[in-house]
Amino acid sequence: METAVLNIKGETIGKCELPETLFGHKPEPHFLYEVVTAHLANLRAGNASSKTRSEISGGGKKPWKQKHTGRSRQGSTRSPLWRKGGVVFGPRPHSFRREMPQAKRRLALAQALSAKFAEGGMVIVDKFDIAQPKTKELVAVLRSFTAGRKPLLVSMRENKNVETASRNIRGVSNARPSELNAYDVLNSSKVIMTRAALDNLGGLWSGKGEQK
């Protein structure tokens, strides 16, 4: 599999081979749905909490006597029936985490990359050669790639100016090859990957590890 290699002006300067193990998969929608929902569940903090009647201060005294008042029987002003009372079956801190085998995460990433490449949402760039950490310069680069509203920039972060310049651009995200996951790839409008990052990703896939 071959694809064009562009420079930061969007001009074709060569070609490169794409690994079949990463870009030659047929996406399975239900499988990707399972992995993506697990990833989103793992991002949830799960720290929402409401107080039960036993956790709210006050309410120790019986509001009125049990009988002969013409009103209903009440034992505490912190009853869930009262204003400022406890909450029944409210949210409590707990984990939403779903365990996902590494093999499934890797396969989902390969399917996501394959789907993004098949739909024309993948760009291989020679390198991000930005001289100054200016947002204006990076915006011009993204426009030359027709990057859309949520581009994902994948590089070895050898050029710190790119990450600095992208902080003021809404929707732009940065990642190293080792940080990629299926959700970030599918959720992006376009994946813009440097040649070095592509080679590194292939090394990670073959078990050689990330090169610093």
Rounded CA separation 105/93 (Å): 27
Q: For residue range 23-43, list pLDDT tens digits in order.
A: 999 999 999 999 999 999 999
Q: What is the dihedral of CA 112, 115, 120, 126, to 10 degrees?
A: 40
Residue with tokens 């509001």: 63
CATH architecture of 2-44+99-205: 3-Layer(aba) Sandwich (3.40)
pLDDT at residue 210 in the model: 57
Give the tens place of pLDDT for each residue, 142-198. 999 988 899 999 999 888 889 899 988 999 999 999 999 999 999 999 999 999 999
pLDDT the model gives residue 194: 93
176: β partners: none
pLDDT level of residue 129 (50, 70, 90 thresholds) = confident
81-102 tens-digit pLDDT? 999 999 999 999 999 999 999 9
Can you tell me whether residue 210 is helix, strand or coil?
coil
- The contacts of residue 165 (CB under 8 Å, 6+ apart) are 130, 133, 134, 135, 137, 138
Q: Report which of residues 131 and 30 the model is more confident about.
A: 30
Domain ranges of the chain: 2-44+99-205, 46-95
pTM score = 0.82
> To which residue do tokens 């064009």 refer?
4
Confidence of residue 206 (pLDDT cuts 50, 70, 90): confident
